[in-house]
């Protein structure tokens, strides 16, 4: 079994999901008392959130690169950044370490191809929805057309992530707002919805809607387990 390296804490709510899914996956595959071999460097999300608002991506890159080197030095065989938004810095992080970085958008893209989805919608932070680092990777590497909510919808999705989900708050009103946004995107032709923020699956589950939901956290963990156990 290989050792999985994680850069987490952004937020710790979603990093908890990573830890649980990875260990459950190893247990299901190997049985007995087996658990995942994990190296975790957990950051203080408050510091990252301030830098995000300031658009200080160079400083955030320095923080992630330092964490990646710590993970590598601790013996990880490969690396996951446990957040969609911070994959904006994936190239800088990968260039700084020798171990491979498993990109969350690749985990999502491979699943889209398997299910023959060509046109999907993306929910995430405003950084993820509005900037090209995620959408363009899906377009260039997997030929996927990506829709995003309108300006008001993007503001709602972003606000709920930072003001509620990252703080462990699950609001029925926010869930209803998300489902309305999902319905609107479905009417625009989306064949599936990417839950492109690692906290969104805490709020919206497949049982809430008929359109397929792709949980980026679960798919990222599945990719990690495939690399760890095969």
Give every CB contact of residue 105 below 8 A, 6+ residues apart in sequence. 84, 87, 134, 137, 138, 141
Give every CB contact of residue 122 below 8 A, 6+ residues apart in sequence. 128, 129, 134, 135, 146, 147, 148, 193, 194, 196
Backbone conformation region of residue 150, classed left if phi is above 0, alpha if psi is from -120 to 50, else beta: beta
Check: CB of residue 92 under 8 Å from CB of residue 81: no
Residues tagged active-site: 83, 197
Residue 31 φ then ψ, to 5°: 70, -170
CA dihedral of 151, 154, 160, 166, whole degrees rounded to 10: -140
Peptide bond into 121 cis (omega under 30): no
DSSP assigned state of 88: G
DSSP string, 133-180: HHHHHHHHHH--EEE---HHHHHHHHHHHHHTGGGT---HHHHHHHHH
Tokens of 228: 């760890």
């Amino acid at each position: 079994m290989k050792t999985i390296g994680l850069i987490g804490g952004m937020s710790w709510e979603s990093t908890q999901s990573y830890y649980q899914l990875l260990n459950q996956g190893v247990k299901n595959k190997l049985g007995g008392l087996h658990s995942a071999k994990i190296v975790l460097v957990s950051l203080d999300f408050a510091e990252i959130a301030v830098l995000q608002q300031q658009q200080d991506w160079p400083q955030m890159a320095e923080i992630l690169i330092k964490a990646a080197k710590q993970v590598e030095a601790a013996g990880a065989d490969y690396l996951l950044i446990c957040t969609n938004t911070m994959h904006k810095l994936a190239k800088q992080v990968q260039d700084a370490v020798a171990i491979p970085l498993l990109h969350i958008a690749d985990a999502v893209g491979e699943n889209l191809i398997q299910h023959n989805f060509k046109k999907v919608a993306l929910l995430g932070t405003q950084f993820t929805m509005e900037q090209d680092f995620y959408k363009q990777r899906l377009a260039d590497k997997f030929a996927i057309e990506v829709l995003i909510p309108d300006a008001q919808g993007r503001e709602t999705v972003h606000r709920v992530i930072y003001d509620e989900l990252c703080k462990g708050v699950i609001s029925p009103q926010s869930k209803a707002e998300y489902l309305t946004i999902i319905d609107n995107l479905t009417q625009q032709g989306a064949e599936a919805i990417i839950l492109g923020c690692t906290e969104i699956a805490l709020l919206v589950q497949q049982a809430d809607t008929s359109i397929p939901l792709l949980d980026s956290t679960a798919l990222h963990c599945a990719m990690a387990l495939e690399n760890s156990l095969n």
